[in-house]
Structure 1
Amino acid sequence: MRKSAAASAPSKRASARSSMAMRTYLALLEQLDRRRRSNQLAAYTPYDRQAEFHAAGGKNRERLFMAGNQLGKTRAGGAEWAMHLTGRYPDWWVGKVFDTPVRLWAAGVTGEGTRDNPQRVLVGPPQQQAEWGTGMIPADAIADTVMGRNVPGAIDSVIVRWGGGGDVQAGESVLSFKSYEKGREKWQGETLHGVWFDEEPPLDVYSEGLTRTNATGGITIVTFTPLLGMSDVVLRFLSAAEVERVGKG
């Protein structure tokens, strides 16, 4: 039995509506995913050790987050740096707060290490510029980037909109990426609000970075897995009792 054209028309319209509804639904899911990926900072919820690390910044200029691999050290550092750069502090925040735009550094052992760790966490995949803005710094806060010269995909600095988002911005922060491999001399001269050492630095580099924050009463944070044993940098953060306990094994 054949259906008449008149009988099949409602079925076609219903099918078309269903197809359009599905396309609309998928488009909304894609938009929500894009918003989520372009504002990782808004979704950041620290676990206990990360929260303790952040809270300690309310009273301490120098902080260390030392833990094993893949335990969220670099993610915690990136989230905090993004908050200071943008001025977007969540309601639960009890750590250090800057009420003006800031100048910050983020550093690793080598140029490649800085690119692949703090830069990736803050900005997004180094080799995919279309994905820059999917790191901890929200996409709408990235005003400009300045490329480095010696390492492919490495960024020299990022200009970040400060002021909580929206159309009215109070100013701009500046984030620069550094490495330890060129020595202490390359760390001289700048006045900063904070330095983030991702992986353990030599003591002279750490001291020079800390000096850069003296004029602003700024902060240093260190995030790393202990590979160098009881180094001079680690000893700065341990009490005499802790040193003795570690020494006894």
Structure 2
Amino acid sequence: MRAYLALLEELERRRRGNSLAVYKPYDRQAEFHAAGATNRERLFMAGNQLGKTRAGGAEWAMHLTGRYPDWWVGKVFDQPVRLWAAGVTGEGTRDNPQRVLVGPPQQQGEWGTGMIPADAIADTVMGRGAPGALDSVVVRWGGGGDVQAGESVLSFKSYEKGREKWQGETLHGVWFDEEPPLDIYSEGLTRTNATDGITIVTFTPLLGMSDVVLRFLSAEAIQGLGSSPPQGGVAA
């Protein structure tokens, strides 16, 4: 009996340490991922608790590790990547994208229970702002079969720091969790130009027809919406 319980505990530990392996997107999440195969910029709008941040975190974990599931038809990077994940404030970035990617911010013993598998986290660098907030994570990439192992780097940012803090670096992708100001979005997109990289935006539409939302809507869609705020969906 004791051996059986120990086996169950070990299986649960492995499951908690590899959330990415059990991620199965529902239809709108799958549509969002698939659009990355042909679009550099993507938007996933939906209400609260409908899987926007989870979808963003799962995709970012795939790119960071190079572990793409058999069902994946979206964007693929064939080398280690440098990615950013950002929210409105340092606390918001910590409590949303960092939590989904790494695990509960205030419980370091639980880091590795987010979308980045525990065995892929090579190192973490603490930030100087909100307690429990990370500055960056070094992630093991590839290493299976004939693929040479490498390291990806994930850094966390916030909009409140201003556009100047977003300048300079060359990136493969930027994830905006919650709607960014247009100047921040434009600067993030610029960071990906040299790599033909991607940007993804995941948020609940609270600001109505903002400049960022308008980038993703066709003229027909804008005319149909009028002045009403968008209710959600996937756009690229």
Shift of 1:150: 1.5
* Identity in percent: 89
Give the corresponding residue for 1:221: 200
1:181 match: secondary structure: helix
Question: Which AA in structure 2 matches 1:172?
Answer: E
Give the corresponding residue for 2:93: 114
Map 1:1-249 to 2 at 5 A: 22-163=1-142, 170-247=149-226
8 Å Cα contact 1:140-1:165 kept in structure 2? no
Task: Structure 2: state its 5+ residue gaps.
Answer: 229-236
Question: Which AA in structure 1 matches 2:85?
Answer: A
Question: Which AA in structure 2 matches 1:90?
Answer: P
Distance change (3 Å), C-alpha of 1:26 and 1:61:
same
Give the corresponding residue for 1:12: none
8 Å Cα contact 2:174-2:188 kept in structure 1? yes
8 Å Cα contact 1:141-1:165 kept in structure 2? no
Cα distance between partner residues in 2 of 1:36 and 1:165: 20
8 Å Cα contact 1:161-1:169 kept in structure 2? no
Question: Which AA in structure 1 matches 2:157?
Answer: K
Task: Structure 1: state its 5+ residue gaps.
Answer: 1-21
Cα distance between partner residues in 2 of 1:241 and 1:67: 20
Shift of 1:118: 0.1
Distance change (3 Å), C-alpha of 1:178 and 1:218:
same
Shift of 1:169: 5.4
Instruction: Please list the CA deviations of residues 29-86 of structure 1 after superposition, one character each: whole Å capped at 9, or x if unmatched.
Output: 1111000000000000000000000000000000000000000000000000000000
Cα distance between partner residues in 1 of 2:121 and 2:148: 12
TM-score by length of 2: 0.94
Larger Rg: 1
Cα distance between partner residues in 1 of 2:223 and 2:116: 40
Instruction: Please list the CA deviations of residues 152-196 of structure 1 after superposition, one character each: whole Å capped at 9, or x if unmatched.
Output: 000000000000569x85110000000000111100000000000
2:44 match: secondary structure: strand
2:201 match: secondary structure: strand
Distance change (3 Å), C-alpha of 1:181 and 1:97:
same
Aligned-CA RMSD value: 1.2
Cα distance between partner residues in 2 of 1:209 and 1:94: 24
8 Å Cα contact 1:194-1:213 kept in structure 2? yes
Cα distance between partner residues in 1 of 2:227 and 2:197: 35
Instruction: Please list the CA deviations of residues 7-38 of structure 1 after superposition, one character each: whole Å capped at 9, or x if unmatched.
Output: xxxxxxxxxxxxxxx11111111111000000
Cα distance between partner residues in 2 of 1:81 and 1:182: 22
How many equivalent pairs are there?
227
Instruction: Please list the CA deviations of residues 184-223 of structure 1 after superposition, one character each: whole Å capped at 9, or x if unmatched.
Output: 1100000000000000000000000000000000000000
